Structure 1
Amino acid sequence: MPSSCPARRVAAALAGVLLVSASLAISSSVEARELSVSTVLSDAFPWGQAAEKWAERVAERSGGELTLRVYPNSQLVSGDQTREFSAMRSGLIDAAVGSTINWSPQVPELNLFSLPFFMPDVESVDAVTGGAAGEMVFEAIASRGVVPLAWGENGFRQLSNSQGPIDEPADLEGLKIRVVGSPLFQDTFTALGANPTQMSWADAKPALTTGAVDGQENPLSVFDVARIDQVGQEHLTLWNYMNDPLVFAVNRQVWESLSEQERTILRESAEEAGAWEIAMTREEEPARLAAIQERGVTVTELDEAQHQAFVEATEAVHDEWVPRIGEAIVEAARSDMQPD
């Protein structure tokens, strides 16, 4: 049956093509890799948007072979944001865009950014993150089994409350202020005469609603998007008492399992996402402040003498915490902030 031979050869060839195609598809699916990324806030906030931008850039640059799946609202640590770094270090989380505040219990050097009234403006923050002190902080993170890749920004934290305007330390006397789970925050607000009350962000809004706490401190983006003015926070003081840079980072074992190309994609995409988010956060602040004022919030801005009073009231906090953070890092940061 010679006439059937060509048909058989065609069928065999088609079968071979299909087999190769199937093998390539299986190989492609095996090679594609997804990493989990933890964030505290969703993409309604700049913080969450930074993580989503990172994921977007990684997917684009890798052609979908490496993807990041973002888990907002501290889902991967059951809502306890202070456990994020430990979970990433142990490998329960592959990567994160995290807060220097939330990671400071495991990396004490990160408390550099929480020293009260240490970095007065964004130029100072940029000088530190881009200078010798920033390199030393990244080395400290790396020494704990996590690879830092880039900086982002949650912004300067401002103070709000339900009781009245605050423009001097005496105005804080006895006020219950919600703070994150960092001993440095406890010490700072205690030094100012307040009653600091530690609780997660998930618990903060209900506590403000019921009056269990009188006030809180957060960047303008959080105050605006979370509509904190709707839970009795009618007074806002702009005091820039500390800044909270974000850090893009990856678990070390995950990092070492990646190819050089994948590492380059992850790092460069993080740098791009971080730069984008920092610029966006800063550009949006004037409009956010205007929107907050339009909603009836009383905004207090400190003059130089008022600001200095808060600086002096927290000097003892510096005396106690600089040795814990590391004299060398603090001195490097001071040097970074000095004008040329």
Structure 2
Amino acid sequence: MTKRLLAALAAGVAIALAAAPTLPAAAQTYKAEYKISTVLGAPFPWGVSAQRWADLVKERSNGRIVMKVYPGAQLVGGDQTKEFTAMRQGVIDMAVGSTINWSPQVAELNLFALPFLMPDHKALDAITGGEAGKKLFDIVAAKDVIPLAWGENGFREVSNSKRDVKTPADLKGLKIRVVGSPLFNETFTALGANPTQMSWADAQPALSTGAVDGQENPITVYVAAKLNTVGQKHLTLWGYVADPLIFAVSKPVWDTFSAEDQKLLRETAAEAGQYGKELARKGITEEDPSTLKAIEALGVTVTRLTPEDQKAFQAATKPVYDKWKARIGVPLVEAAEKAVGERK
């Protein structure tokens, strides 16, 4: 073959390559499906907001990025406390996770479980949207999980089958189902209750049979799970702790996305998180108490603690608060306390 012919062939190949369409990296390296882990699915705001995230991403990526929600912590065999570790390892692609469930691996997330730190939604927003919230995201990101946006499961209220709870003395001796967190256990012990740690899957039958007297969860969970049908006729709104959610991506997975798609994931997570907050707060505010009225119409007594009423509960749990403030980190807690004090 002559040199002239070789040169001509080389030139032809170069022209053909230049003319060929450039395939996006996503078409070559992205997964066919990304799994999103959640504890609760629809109709809970938690699961609805996770699905909204998946829908927004699929729509705005023109179907290039497909995400599917797997509720019930099924990606970790139902053990929700293992979700964060699975994300670090890249076993789970994404999650809309609870700060409570992630707190065994990220101690600082216990901030939101400090009893009576946040008196209202404005206080919660001031923390997540301020210096403390940024610090928490930095801490999570340092553990190979990329946090994108805040969501919400809601303030956790207490219900039981025995009596109205207006003072700490009313909790004395009640068997209350709590999540698997030492801080929750210590808080209810300080209030004179008998806390019992169990998964949510086990909690509902336990409430039905009377094995436990009560539970603490956001109103949305109370309604969606129809807890009034398992004897939970006494509901107290005390807002002792909140349960913010975090939209996040495993770092090994995050690093495979282009900068443009990372921006897409972050923006859509923020939108879905805001949507979830609106759902979690709907019908339980002073401006719109429709959900609370509907609960009362079912024969449930709804007790609303005033700030003055809360003082007795705060006093009873102060030793727990102080102990965990040191464990969580005094500077972080003080940043949160400052945000609460300066909220508008």
Q: Secondary structure at the match of 1:155?
A: strand
Match of 1:334 in 2: 337
Q: Secondary structure at the match of 1:52?
A: helix
Match of 1:145 in 2: 144
Q: Please list, as runs of the form range in 1=range in 2, the aligned pairs for 1:259-278 lying within 5 A after superposition.
A: 259-278=258-277
Verify: 1:311 aligned to 2:314, yes or no.
yes
RMSD (CA atoms):
1.9
Task: Using the TM superposition, give the Cα deviation of residue 275 of structure 1 relative to its aligned residue in structure 2, in angstroms.
Answer: 1.1
Task: Using the TM superposition, give the Cα deviation of residue 234 of structure 1 relative to its aligned residue in structure 2, in angstroms.
Answer: 0.7
Residue deviations 1:178-212, cap 9 Å, x none?
00000000010000011110000000001001111
Q: 2:302 aligns with which of 294, 299, 303?
A: 299
Q: 1:290 to 1:246 in 2, by over 3 A?
A: same
1:157–1:243 CA contact under 8 A, matched in 2: yes
Deviates more, 1:42-51 or 1:31-40: 31-40
Partners of 2:249 and 2:280 in 1: how far apart? 23
Residue deviations 1:55-105, cap 9 Å, x none?
001001111111111101111111111111111111111010011111111
Task: Using the TM superposition, give the Cα deviation of residue 304 of structure 1 relative to its aligned residue in structure 2, in angstroms.
Answer: 3.1
Partners of 1:200 and 1:157 in 2: how far apart? 16
- What runs of 5+ residues in structure 1 fail to find an aligned partner? 1-19
Q: Please list, as runs of the form range in 1=range in 2, the aligned pairs for 1:243-282 lying within 5 A after superposition.
A: 243-282=242-281
Match of 1:9 in 2: none
Q: 1:179 to 1:31 in 2, by over 3 A?
A: closer
Task: Using the TM superposition, give the Cα deviation of residue 287 of structure 1 relative to its aligned residue in structure 2, in angstroms.
Answer: 2.5
- What runs of 5+ residues in structure 2 fail to find an aligned partner? 1-19
Aligned-partner residue type, residue 57 of structure 2: V
Task: Using the TM superposition, give the Cα deviation of residue 39 of structure 1 relative to its aligned residue in structure 2, in angstroms.
Answer: 0.4
1:221–1:288 CA contact under 8 A, matched in 2: no
Partners of 1:336 and 1:195 in 2: how far apart? 33
Query: TM-score, normalization: structure 1?
Result: 0.90
Match of 2:282 in 1: 283
Partners of 1:31 and 1:193 in 2: how far apart? 53
Q: Please list, as runs of the form range in 1=range in 2, the aligned pairs for 1:1-340 lying within 5 A after superposition.
A: 28=27, 33-285=32-284, 286-339=289-342
Q: 1:32 to 1:320 in 2, by over 3 A?
A: closer
Task: Using the TM superposition, give the Cα deviation of residue 303 of structure 1 relative to its aligned residue in structure 2, in angstroms.
Answer: 2.7
The number of equivalent residue pairs is: 319
Aligned-partner residue type, residue 96 of structure 2: V
Task: Using the TM superposition, give the Cα deviation of residue 284 of structure 1 relative to its aligned residue in structure 2, in angstroms.
Answer: 3.5
Q: 1:31 to 1:306 in 2, by over 3 A?
A: closer
Q: Secondary structure at the match of 2:110?
A: helix
Partners of 1:30 and 1:263 in 2: how far apart? 14
Task: Using the TM superposition, give the Cα deviation of residue 32 of structure 1 relative to its aligned residue in structure 2, in angstroms.
Answer: 5.9
Residue deviations 1:230-270, cap 9 Å, x none?
11111001100011111000101111111111111111110
Aligned-partner residue type, residue 325 of structure 2: V
Partners of 1:215 and 1:298 in 2: how far apart? 14
Partners of 1:306 and 1:335 in 2: how far apart? 23
Partners of 1:108 and 1:272 in 2: how far apart? 27
Partners of 2:67 and 2:342 in 1: how far apart? 39
Partners of 1:264 and 1:331 in 2: how far apart? 32
Partners of 1:164 and 1:96 in 2: how far apart? 37
2:30–2:256 CA contact under 8 A, matched in 1: no
Task: Using the TM superposition, give the Cα deviation of residue 33 of structure 1 relative to its aligned residue in structure 2, in angstroms.
Answer: 3.9
Q: Secondary structure at the match of 2:216?
A: strand
